[in-house]
Structure 1
Amino acid sequence: MNPNPVVLIVTSTFGDGHVKVAEAIEHSFRSRGINQVHTVDLFAEVHPKLNELSRRFYLNSAVYAQGLYGLLYEMTSGMKPRRALGRLLHSMGKRKVQKILDDMRPDVIIHTFPYLAAAELGEGTVSGVPIFTVMTDYVLHGRWLHPHTMKYFIATEGMRQALLSEGIAEDAVVVSGIPIRQAFETYQDRELLLKKHGLCGDRRYILLAAGAYGVMSHTSKLIETVIAKSDFDLIVLCGNNHKLRTAMEELYQENSRVHLLGYTEEMQELMCISSCLLSKAGGITLTEAIAQSLPVIVYRPLPGQEAGNAEWLSRQKVIDTAHNEEQLIDQLRQLEKPLYRRERIRRMKAFSRKSSAEHIVSEILNAVEQRQPFAGQAKPKIVEGQVKTIHGYL
């Protein structure tokens, strides 16, 4: 096997989770001395206008058309890659994808987002480069599936059974857990972090996370409920939604129990400080909280994959889900009981899978090593400025 293979990680900026998973996998490759790793928002490259339109629909539907998004999600959940809808979605921009692959000549392609045009191009393209998929939720959707995928890396044994029922070969399914950044699996001193963020050690904090784009609905109502019905203070993350942050500042700037922030790269530190996460049900955020043994309440999960995540993890008694204000108040009071908290934390520790990114990278390298060499073809040198990645141009 090439000791320094070219790795292409296909991701997307629909939300923040797909990029975070890609970053965790890229970091694991680089920690092994494999430095030709390129993380690309492939759909944005081949269809920038359609990508932006789709992204805006996704973000706006989270606020204004949740039912419509949920309906579309359910209607497409059973889609098959060889039927009309699957072929349409996976073939969009196929020629431009072919050009990118011809320029880059990857030895490995890894999907952290289900835009599978590289798989649709077929086994005979790019010398049959092996293709892997890392799923970023706790529920299965048909859009992730493709017969040219060599291995699927998934969160749970339940998802494994779902894949097997779809006809996926048993040796193509690996229960790895969802990869997260290393910082979430590293011990941090809470007292030092409290001082760093200017917070009081004798107060308990709820971390209210509205998502990377601040799309969590009823943020003001949630703040009011927590302040009125519990002794917790709040750290409120408004993401990149500057309008939301401005509105919250007008309401709570003078309230000493409410600490308002925008988007942060210090999520792991704020989780370490907090006693509870009150959040959407994005697969990555939930996985990060579980790794930190931070009790979670999901409030009114969005229809689609987030509702699926919340429902599945709640059934396992790993997190709590509140569908209305009354349930939220009840769960806040439960979390104030030491016995209940200890049981939730115990379940989270038992559920969490450590070093998922390292496990995935090891499996991929082993799988690639067992394949035939690159057919002896010389790889053309990538010209600077040729292919755009998440981190800039190559």
Structure 2
Amino acid sequence: MNTDPKVLIVTSAFGDGHMKVAEAIENSFRRRGISRITTLDLFAVVHPALNELSRRFYLNNTGYTQEFYGLLYTMTSKMRPEQFMGRLIHSMGKRKVQRIINEIQPDIIIHTFPYLAAAELASTTGSRMPLFTVMTDYVVHGRWLHPQTTKYFIASEDMKTTLMSAGVAEEKLVVSGIPIREAFEQTQDREALLRKHGLSGDRQYLLLAAGAYGVLSDISSLIKRVLLQSSFDVIVLCGNNHKLRAATGELFQENPRVHILGYTEEMQELMCIASCLLTKAGGITLTEAMAQALPVIVYRPLPGQEAGNAEWLSGQHLIEIARNEEQLVEQLQRLEHTAYRDEREQHMKVFSRKSASDAIVTEALEAIKLRQPSVPAAKSMLVEGQAKTIHGYY
């Protein structure tokens, strides 16, 4: 077996967490001594203009855009790769993808984003290169499926049942959990972190991912309601939304119960400090919170995979959904009671799967044993800087 195989991880810089999953898998490979890893936003390389248009559409926070996205998501959720829409999506840019694969000559391709041009190529070339797909949500969508996929790594037994009903062979399915970075699976000293961040151990903190939501009026109204009707203090994460941070800071600068932060690389520390997370329903963020046994409230989940994630996890009694401010306050008031909070935390501890990325890497290294020789290299198409992992939060 090749002791230092080449690994290509196909990911994307928009949506929730595709890059974070890729990073977790890459780090797991490196802990095994595997160094020749390329993490690539393949769709952005092959179709930069269309990728940017799609990214802007996805990130648009207007109600009409959200509803239209949800409608498209539902309409395509049952699509199959052999149907017109499936073949169209997976065939886009096949020639460019082939040239990139020829250049990198990977021994395995791992998808953390459903751009499956490599799988579509395998249908015509007969390639036996292992093709892994790591699903990043708690619900199944047809865009992730392709008959050339060697293995699927999924979040739950329910997803396994759904995929088998869709015709995927059981031996292709591994219930690994969703990979997250190692820091979120480690026990941390909460008292030390409270001192580091200048916070009090006598207070309960709501960690509000404000950058995930709309305009300032929504955020300020939420914060005021939480302060008025619950005992929670609020840590507000504004991400790279500098306008939101400045305006929120101006409104609450005299209030000692509100702590305004911008972009942070210390999300795992803040999750350890917090008593509740208020966030969107991205699969990765929810998985990180559950690994920390941090109670989660999803506020007004967006149509599409986020609504699917929220509804499935809520049905398993793992998270709460609040569709308005009144429901949010009611759920926070319940979390003020230790017995209720402990019950939620116990559900998460039982459900959470540790070391998903290590399980994927173990399967990958086993699959590489059957790898056939790579095809000859071709002229490089990669622009310096495009094959880099994107880090960070919100």
Q: Please indicate, yes or no, whether the TM-score normalized by the shorter chain is above 0.5.
A: yes
Judge conservation of contact 1:4–1:33 (CA < 8 Å) in 2.
yes
Judge conservation of contact 1:130–1:150 (CA < 8 Å) in 2.
yes
Change (3 A) 1:126 1:379: farther
Of 96-105 and 379-388, deviating more is: 379-388
- Counterpart amino acid of 2:302? L
Give, in whole Å, the separation in 1 of the partners of 2:31 and 2:387: 19
SS at match of 1:178: coil
Aligned to 2:93: 93
1:308-323 equivalences under 5 Å are: 308-323=308-323
Aligned to 1:33: 33
**Are residue 12 (structure 1) and residue 2 (structure 2) matched?**
no
Aligned to 1:60: 60
Judge conservation of contact 1:110–1:133 (CA < 8 Å) in 2.
yes
SS at match of 2:13: coil
Give, in whole Å, the separation in 2 of the partners of 1:75 and 1:380: 38
Change (3 A) 1:62 1:197: farther
Give, in whole Å, the separation in 2 of the partners of 1:35 and 1:14: 26
- Counterpart amino acid of 2:387? T
**Are residue 388 (structure 1) and residue 372 (structure 2) matched?**
no
SS at match of 2:39: strand
- Counterpart amino acid of 2:15? G
Give, in whole Å, the separation in 2 of the partners of 1:384 and 1:190: 44
Aligned to 2:84: 84
Change (3 A) 1:36 1:199: same
Of 118-127 and 17-26, deviating more is: 118-127
Aligned to 1:103: 103
SS at match of 2:317: coil
SS at match of 1:51: helix
Change (3 A) 1:384 1:241: closer
1:1-394 equivalences under 5 Å are: 1-61=1-61, 65-123=65-123, 125=125, 127-210=127-210, 214-215=212-213, 218-369=218-369, 371=370, 373-375=371-373, 388-391=386-389
Give, in whole Å, the separation in 2 of the partners of 1:307 and 1:383: 38
Give, in whole Å, the separation in 1 of the partners of 2:270 and 2:250: 23
Give, in whole Å, the separation in 2 of the partners of 1:376 and 1:143: 27
SS at match of 2:60: helix
SS at match of 2:54: helix
Judge conservation of contact 1:62–1:302 (CA < 8 Å) in 2.
no
Shift in Å, 1:265: 1.2
| 1:149-173 deviations in Å (ceiling 9; x for gaps) | 0000000000000100110000000
Change (3 A) 1:82 1:96: same
Judge conservation of contact 1:152–1:172 (CA < 8 Å) in 2.
yes
Of 242-251 and 39-48, deviating more is: 242-251
Judge conservation of contact 1:100–1:387 (CA < 8 Å) in 2.
no
Shift in Å, 1:241: 2.1
TM-score, reference length from structure 1: 0.93
- Counterpart amino acid of 2:279? S
Q: What fraction of aligned residue pairs are identical, expressed as a percent?
A: 65
Give, in whole Å, the separation in 1 of the partners of 2:278 and 2:330: 14
Shift in Å, 1:242: 2.2
Give, in whole Å, the separation in 1 of the partners of 2:148 and 2:127: 13
Judge conservation of contact 1:190–1:273 (CA < 8 Å) in 2.
yes
Judge conservation of contact 2:106–2:374 (CA < 8 Å) in 1.
no
Change (3 A) 1:183 1:376: closer
Shift in Å, 1:327: 1.2
Give, in whole Å, the separation in 2 of the partners of 1:382 and 1:93: 15
Change (3 A) 1:329 1:269: same
Shift in Å, 1:75: 0.8
Give, in whole Å, the separation in 2 of the partners of 1:199 and 1:126: 59
Of 116-125 and 170-179, deviating more is: 116-125
SS at match of 2:302: coil
Judge conservation of contact 1:123–1:129 (CA < 8 Å) in 2.
no
Shift in Å, 1:391: 4.3
Give, in whole Å, the separation in 2 of the partners of 1:183 and 1:115: 28
Q: Which segments of 5 or more consecutive residues in structure 1 lack a partner in the other structure?
A: none
Give, in whole Å, the separation in 1 of the partners of 2:286 and 2:357: 16
| 1:85-109 deviations in Å (ceiling 9; x for gaps) | 1111111111111111111011000
Shift in Å, 1:64: 5.4
- Counterpart amino acid of 1:111? H
Shift in Å, 1:192: 1.0
Judge conservation of contact 1:61–1:68 (CA < 8 Å) in 2.
no
- Counterpart amino acid of 1:388? Q
Give, in whole Å, the separation in 2 of the partners of 1:76 and 1:16: 19
